[in-house]
Amino acid sequence: MTDKKNPIAAALAAALCLAAAPTHADDAGGEGMWLPSQLPAIADQLRAAGYKGDPAALADLTKPPMNAVVSLGGCTASFVSPQGLVVTNHHCARGAIQLNSTPEDNLLEKGFIAADRAAERSAGPGARVLVTVAFDKVTDRILADARGKTGRAYYDAVDVAEKALVAECEADEGYRCSVADMYYGTDFYLIKQLELKDIRLVYAPPEAVGNYGDEIDNFMWPRHSGDFAFYRAYVGKDGKPAEFSKDNVPFEPQAWLEVSTDPVAEGDYAMLAGYPGRTYRHRMAMEFAHQVEIGLPSRIDLYGAMIDAIEAASAGDKAAEVAYASTVAGLKNGLKRARGELDGMQRSDAVAVRRADETAMLAWLDGQPGADALEADIHAAQALIAASHAGDEASQLFAQIRGRTELLAAAYRLQRLALERGKPDAGRERGYQERDEARIKAALEQATRRFDPKVEKALLAELLERHRALPADQHIAEIDAVFGTDAAAVAKTMDRLYADTALDDEAERLRLLVAEPTAVKASTDPLMQAAARLLPAALREEDADKQLAGELLRLRPSYMEGLIGYRESQGRAVYPDANSTLRIAFGNVIDLHPRDAVRYAPLSTVAGIVEKHTGEAPFDAPDVLLEAIAKGDFGSTIDPVLKTQTVDFLTNLDTTGGNSGSAVLDANGRLIGLHFDSNWEAVSASWMFDPRYKRGIHVDTRYMRWLMSKVYPAPWLLEEMRLPAE
């Protein structure tokens, strides 16, 4: 199936002599983050791939098994017992584990096993389990008022309709609602989720197991991490969502997943249900080209220069180095990801592949009835996108100036928030609503310990120098006005701004957070004034962004219509790009050939834990685990082929960020794993699914069962899941 989907990729693979590295594409599955409602239409493909259940039964999100899959907001999880037991990744429960840790009782280090229900600990007031109860197409209501409009007006009409629908839906207490946009404005869905608020930590292995290998192994395969943990959802005695209370009772879900007791083997069917965050697979060829030729290289160049500037300015000053460690780590991570994405897109020849596909699509479209209108929209969208890039560089620099600094960023946030604080909450700009204030406050609080004036000035100098180097017509006038137009003036301005500001005082920042908006605007603090003078440029950008977004929301559906029609003409379905809604992927347990003459097997084993063990984090396997491995008592979880205990496994399932914790199911719909990472070669999969390189990394539920049986025993939980004790 994957070969059918990507004929050019397949041809490229053949050209690159992948006979030496068979991708088992014939095993079917792989690409596709399908809406559950699409599954009946591709039922044959699921059956061909090996699914033994009824594909149609997967289509209804409110029925088993799909209603056993829940969102934690950012992560995916699943009910695994009738008493509200929830399984997710260790790294998704990390906050809850940390919250319940003290220096004397460090649960991250020791792990946690609640001896009984009473010992289960609150995951914190912010923890949520969201159970989808309705998923309805609302395209007509959303677009009713937008039709006939263009640009910003189109955007605002959609925005208003969405907010109205959400408010109406959330009138039903205990539910959280949202509107999801499929195929870039083609369809809209109203999602209604039961919002469970009393979530408790039940079981977590030590971090040295749950996060074995940490950053060093991140993105890597072979992996040896037991990345799982258990929550339990509680509700009030009336069965309704309630805040934490001792009197609450376990939530009784309508469905829960059965944990498999069968082995997992290469070639096996696998299926994944979860909430992938965002992909760009159906973006236009010109957008692919821009990303590869300009977007990523310019980000790589900019981040590299920013890292250099920070490191040079803080070198030899231990305190400054510590203050900027997190900023530098963030930039380096961004740089690494951008490089990985660029490498991957180049390796897969993504631009050429997408361009050839688009050319074929447009050629097909040309002969279809109504093609003219679609083509006109497509050309209009392309012209808009091309024009929008003119200001990209300045925009990117401005975003870093107001986002990657500390004090200047604080001043900007205070000014931007003050502008919104006057309005009713529903009318406020996203990111500056009441729900965002806690996050803004936290950022303001930590600014001091992340700040050093000479480093911020050096970083700013680098960004401003790059701004000055842009052609005059790309300059943002406010930046020139505030900072000056030559290096000497900039240096002088910065000296003055940072010498005279009071924003290096946390109390002053927090005072301005709650001060009268007019007082904030009128603040005489030089950094506050600078931010106030930069604000119009930012607002102008926001407006332009919405204008563009509105037009593209109106025009892109024509491109999608062409693409969907073209695929249909080939007998193929199109999944919408990921947008944090529940999706299903299906495929196989499969190996990976990352480079010539290298093959990664799809199952890792405990032998790898011993091989990697150094005794120092992140490779500090606990003694009890090493002893259990040496003992070799693997009971019912032993792999019948490998004759040892497996740890993690690899599939070609289609995933992206947000899929963490996703249930991986076998051909009978039983839980065989939890998704927790992708491989390095697949960083570019947000743009293009290359069947040669895209893999999902999952923890094997047999490893989970073995740990819960023999290493960190919790037999009562195994019993609750109706699993063998040994």
Catalytic annotation, residues: 91, 227, 660
Closest CA to 309 of 497, 459, 116, 472: 459
Asked if residue 603 binds a copy of itself (CB under 8 A), the reply is: yes
Asked if residue 11 binds a copy of itself (CB under 8 A), the reply is: no
Q: Which is nearer to a copy of itself, 439 or 643 (CB)?
A: 643
Three-state secondary-structure class, residue 572: coil
Closest CA to 247 of 229, 261, 235, 260: 235
Closest CA to 353 of 671, 705, 692, 706: 692
User: Which among 195-203, 221-229, 242-250, 578-586 is the span making contact with a copy of itself, rule CB under 8 A?
Assistant: 221-229
Contact call for residues 113 and 716 (beta carbons, < 8 A): no
Position among 171, 488, 499, 597 found at the interface with a copy of itself (CB under 8 A): 597
447: which residues sit within 8 A by CB, 6+ positions away? 406, 407, 409, 410, 503, 506, 509
143: amino acid identity, one letter: L
Asked if residue 22 binds a copy of itself (CB under 8 A), the reply is: no
Cβ–Cβ contacts within 10 Å for residue 434, how many? Answer: 11
CA distances from 636 to 387, 441, 463 (A): 62, 51, 59
Position among 64, 174, 608, 618 found at the interface with a copy of itself (CB under 8 A): 608
Q: Which is nearer to a copy of itself, 59 or 672 (CB)?
A: 672
Report, in Å, the least distance between residue 31 CB and a copy of itself: 23
Report d(CA 254, CA 243) in Å as an integer.
Answer: 21
User: Which among 38-46, 85-93, 639-647, 659-667 is the span making contact with a copy of itself, rule CB under 8 A?
Assistant: 639-647
Position among 17, 315, 488, 499 found at the interface with a copy of itself (CB under 8 A): 17
Report, in Å, the least distance between residue 664 CB and a copy of itself: 17
Is the alpha carbon torsion for 223, 92, 90, 30 positive or negative? negative
Asked if residue 315 binds a copy of itself (CB under 8 A), the reply is: no
Site for a copy of itself in 506-525 (CB under 8 A): none
User: Which among 415-423, 437-445, 530-538, 635-643 is the span making contact with a copy of itself, rule CB under 8 A?
Assistant: 635-643
Q: Which is nearer to a copy of itself, 69 or 335 (CB)?
A: 335
Asked if residue 261 binds a copy of itself (CB under 8 A), the reply is: no
382: which residues sit within 8 A by CB, 6+ positions away? 284, 286
Q: Residue 484: left if φ>0, alpha if ψ -120 to 50, beta else—which one?
A: left
Asked if residue 325 binds a copy of itself (CB under 8 A), the reply is: no
CA distances from 383 to 151, 306, 389, 459 (A): 14, 32, 10, 35
Q: Which is nearer to a copy of itself, 237 or 599 (CB)?
A: 599
Asked if residue 604 binds a copy of itself (CB under 8 A), the reply is: yes
Q: Which is nearer to a copy of itself, 13 or 331 (CB)?
A: 13
332: amino acid identity, one letter: K
Report d(CA 409, CA 463) in Å as an integer.
Answer: 14
Position among 611, 627, 633, 719 found at the interface with a copy of itself (CB under 8 A): 611
Position among 154, 212, 221, 275 found at the interface with a copy of itself (CB under 8 A): 221
User: Which among 179-187, 198-206, 306-314, 638-646 is the span making contact with a copy of itself, rule CB under 8 A?
Assistant: 638-646
User: Which among 39-47, 124-132, 216-224, 518-526 is the span making contact with a copy of itself, rule CB under 8 A?
Assistant: 216-224
Asked if residue 502 binds a copy of itself (CB under 8 A), the reply is: no
Asked if residue 725 binds a copy of itself (CB under 8 A), the reply is: no
Report d(CA 699, CA 261) in Å as an integer.
Answer: 15
User: Which among 426-434, 490-498, 506-514, 606-614 is the span making contact with a copy of itself, rule CB under 8 A?
Assistant: 606-614
Asked if residue 678 binds a copy of itself (CB under 8 A), the reply is: no
Closest CA to 579 of 336, 228, 281: 281
Report, in Å, the least distance between residue 663 CB and a copy of itself: 23
Give the bridge partners for 592, in sequence order.
600
The secondary structure of residue 679, as a DSSP letter, is: -
Report d(CA 436, CA 73) in Å as an integer.
Answer: 15
Which parts of this chain interact with a copy of itself (CB under 8 A)? 15-17, 19-20, 221-222, 224, 595-608, 610-611, 632, 641-644
